[in-house]
Amino acid sequence: MSRVEPAPKLPENWLTYQRLLDSDTHPVPDVLRRENPISLPPSEIPVERYTSRAFFDLEVERLWKRVWQMACREEDIPDVGDYIVYEIAGMSFLVARVAPARFKAFVNACLHRGRLLREKDGLRATEFRCPFHGFAWNLDGTLKHIPCQWDFPHVKPSEWSLPEAKVGTWGGFVFINPDPNASSLEEFLGDELTDQFKRWPLELRYKQAHVAKILRCNWKVAQEAFMEAFHVVATHPQLLPGIGDANSQYDAWGNFSRAITANGTPSPHLAWKPSEQEMFDAMVDRRLDEPALVKVGGPLTARIAAAAGGREMLRPALGPSVDELSDAELVDSFYYTVFPNFHPWGAYNRIVYRFRPHGANVDESIMECMYLVPCPPGAKPPSARIHWLGPDDDWTEAPELGFLARVFNQDTFNLPKVQLGLRAMSKKTITLANYQETKIRHFHHLLDQWLAR
């Protein structure tokens, strides 16, 4: 039996996240006071998980063909007949709004000779007709038309509906599961995740931006780079005056995990104490040649100044309720991972990530960043369309991401080199930290369970 070690504790004199919350100027909600560290065996992850074609194929069969996965936002397909093409690991699905409050997902292939029914997203369709020979299906997936039907006496129309994936919704997102025997989305997500987001309802937001970039690395290499703050000290040194990277809190429940990283407090890696102005400037990634956005110092700390600015930015959409939000909810980073590849951020941070294989390529992936913002009073604004970047494009070519584009450039500069290094390694495993890489360890613990089924 593998040995299980308790989750390590930070040194007694360390500024833990819970201690930082004690200084908040507003009441801190229960959801931020919850702690659930995990105890797992020390983690040595086989390198072949990131490089092996056989392992990739196993993931397709036992993970992607069976697991719940986020396909789109509801507002991506706002009207009846709207649909998106969702592709994952060589599979393709049509996810459509078939009634005002009903969604369906179909395997995107003609039952005649297999041609893709749709290659791009579309609006207000009344049917899905194959461009090859003209076979057609109604919006609900039932067979509509067979050309030269006299020549297909062996086809029973009642048995020729498009094969479906299961569909569920949560937080304004549409999820699909290719396995018809899968348990419900509600059971998969569990009550804890819904309860934690009750204070920050994602269904009351709209997609302000959506950028996707092809990366030359395995999809797990990509997403694991965004599941911990351990990399900040080497990858994002400009942020250290304003981010408590090693002070982060990591927890896991069921099929999801959470990390909380404090902002507006210096990294414990620093050998010097930054000023409040330096902390604030680091939080907003201000370059030396840019003017300061806010002058802070004295009683106006970096955290309080950032929280005050966040309240005023949210006030038009949330009204007086913003005054009930804690400083932490307006300043800190709460990044969740819902197994296997969905990463919504908590509180009112706009970020949502998704990572998935690029086709059937072991060494390529797609990283997506969406910005969700509270809906203003009145009608929900239209959903941003996806902005694609190629593997050699710079994140700054997506100006809608703001300063995060520069940060992403630092992150993704490493990732192709990680993939090359994994293939060059003579050591057969990678070694994970017990606490700071909790989310990655939890992910692989769940992956082991799925692959063993």
Question: What residue ranges do the domains of the chain occupy?
Answer: 17-62+199-452, 69-181
pLDDT at 287 (0 to 100): 66
Q: Name the fold adopted by 69-181.
A: Rieske Iron-sulfur Protein (2.102.10)
Among 281, 332, 240, CA closest to 18: 332
pLDDT at 292 (0 to 100): 63
Give the tens place of pLDDT for each residue, 249-292: 999 999 999 999 999 999 999 999 999 999 999 988 766 666 76
Give the tens place of pLDDT for each residue, 354-397: 999 999 999 999 999 999 999 988 888 999 999 999 999 999 99
pLDDT at 13 (0 to 100): 65
Do 98 and 87 touch, CB atoms closer than 8 A? no
Going by C-beta distance under 8 Å and a sequence separation of 6 or more, which residues neighbour residue 180? 164, 165, 166
User: Sheet holding 351-357: strands in order across?
Assistant: 243-253, 256-263, 333-338, 342-344, 351-357, 365-374, 205-215, 387-389
Look at residue 396 and give its three-state secondary structure.
helix
pLDDT at 417 (0 to 100): 98
Give every residue of the chain whose pLDDT is below 70, as ranges. 1-13, 286-290, 292-293
Angstrom distance (rounded) from CA 96 to CA 445:
33
pLDDT at 39 (0 to 100): 87
pLDDT at 285 (0 to 100): 75
402: DSSP letter:
T
C-beta neighbour count of 23 within 10 angstroms:
13
Question: Considering the entire predicted model, what is its pTM?
Answer: 0.94
CATH class for domain 17-62+199-452?
alpha beta
pLDDT at 14 (0 to 100): 73
pLDDT at 11 (0 to 100): 66
